[in-house]
A and B are shown apart, each in its own frame.
Chain A
Amino acid sequence: MTDKLITAAIVVVGVPAVLIGYIWLTEQVIRILPEKQKPRVRPWLWMAPALAFLALFLVYPMFGTFLRSFQNHPGTEFVGLDNFFWFFGSADALSALKNNVLWLIFLTLFVVGFGLLVAVLVDKVRYESFAKSVIFVPLAISMVAAGVIWLYMYQYRPPGAVQTGTLNAAIDIFGLGPVPWLQVQTFSVNTFMLIIVMAWMWTGFAMVIISAALKGINPELMEAARVDGATEWQVFRGIVFPLLVPTLVVVSTTMIITALKAFDVVFTMTSGNLNTNVIANQMYAEMFKFGQYGRASAIAVVLLLAIIPIMFFNIGRFRAQEAVR
């Protein structure tokens, strides 16, 4: 107990002391420099601790992962591209990859589509903030909890028994079902059921951002169009939508990355059974269950390589927007 208190004291006093000490030190260093150099050096010195942490906790492990992806399972010798050949030759890994493509396309479509729809519709009503809060709340729920909630929604009981799952109880009223939602593999229905859970969570996020962009549009533009006799649909098609495109692109890229990282919902709801696996779960299993560090690293590298173009695209868009300002 006492050693914990001492540690606590050191941390509480030490961390601010080190931070303040560091800023003071940089100012001493900058003081010696010629006046012209000062503004150029200062930001780098201030960023240095963050950059060091970034290098230690992000860049170094990334190179480590690259290295590991070429090594055998305990990491004792190099095996060339074997881990990548395994990935693209394994039926399980390819099924996971296929599911990730479904996630990427449909999660993005659902989230951006519904987010846009809700943002535009609630913009026209009086109880806007209430409606937005309701849609936004699921984002505050942990993904595991969301998975458990939706397990109840999708619950299946044999025909004839009382349907306790929300969805099956609902269709039971019309004499339909029950449908084992998470077991139907035709048209990947079970994967879509998982995507819906994630879309339910993230629609609020898209809605808030799109709604903010919507408020930023000059109302005079729309007013002018209406005066000229444009219908509401024409106003949306011709003015609102084009002005929202940059925002939609940002939300879409965020959702694409979210889709590629999908893990929790699949883990809690199906554990990847019945062809619902995604690559993040495959990576987790290879790493923590099977001890296949090489293969897990190879999957991480594939995931990283898939995300990099999207990141560059995103950065490119930011630069373009900055240039416009």
Chain B
Amino acid sequence: MSRFKRFVLWAALVAIVVLTAMSIYGAFIGADRAQAFFNSVPLVAYWFAAIALLATGIVVFRRLLRVPSLLLMHLGSILVLLGAMWGSKPGHALQSRLLGIDKIPEGRMGMYEQMQENQVRVGDGNDLEQLPFFVRLADFRLEYYEPGVLLIYSRDGRNWRMPAQAGKTLSLGEGLGTVTIQRVFRNFKMDLQGDKPVAYDPPGGSNPALEITAERPDAPPRKRYVFEQRFGHVDANDPLVMDFRRNAKDYLSSLEIVKDGQVVAAKEIEVNHPLHYGGYHLYQHEWGRDRFGEYSILMVVSDSGLNAVYGGYVSLIAGVFWHFWGRRILHWFRAHYTIGPKAPGESR
């Protein structure tokens, strides 16, 4: 092996070790700081050097050109790095300066139902940028796992959980008595009938609650209401604290893309199912609730460089599997099965 080839191999090994060390360092400093670290100027220099090294390897080592699987692996790595750099924030700044392509790398939109918006919050949320189209939230809905759970805590640190279903009873042991769920409300309301408060569950709206009866051996049964959306008042003399929880199963936003007054695209998005339009992906990112009701939080992400990254992945995977598995499988088949007519007396 020539000295230059040996130098390239050693340089590759050093680059791998350095990136391993930097990855471990990045893992200790948290995602935000790690992102800033890996996008800093010295690291940009490192990424360029890594690409140059991979390209040099392909040129210098004939084997990388002769063996397609090795070529695919190394080309794939180059594509992933190039795509990632093109899609990064500095990459977007470069696109704007060199090519006049002004795209928002990443931002968020908080929307109530029926809202139409083209402003995206970027960075730490204080800056606004505009999309080249409007997004309309036609509908937003939350789906929950049913039933929810009732969490019960005692003052001495014990805790219990029971399914939030009407008729369920849980014995908490001596001294604390039993807890029974009498009713499950989807939309709890209370009104006075005469001078007596009466709870009821009108259709529409959302205020999930449980009607609980706590029975203790030394006291009369006590009725109480536990709400999902507010923790409520806690009686300091009550030996039990209760909490009603339901886990979100899914959150879905029906989106319409409006351009020049026309709906040009529409999709019901949910987590793992984004909408793609005009060089952006719109993701169901989060949801929230305030005094105006529930709102959907969308994430808007530019698709710059994504095809290169995915192309790199395909190339890398094809190369790695062909090199380490495909050739072995082929060899195994050749060793076990001969092709063509069997010779007299030959066994397989």
Query: Are these two chains actual partners, yes or no?
Result: no
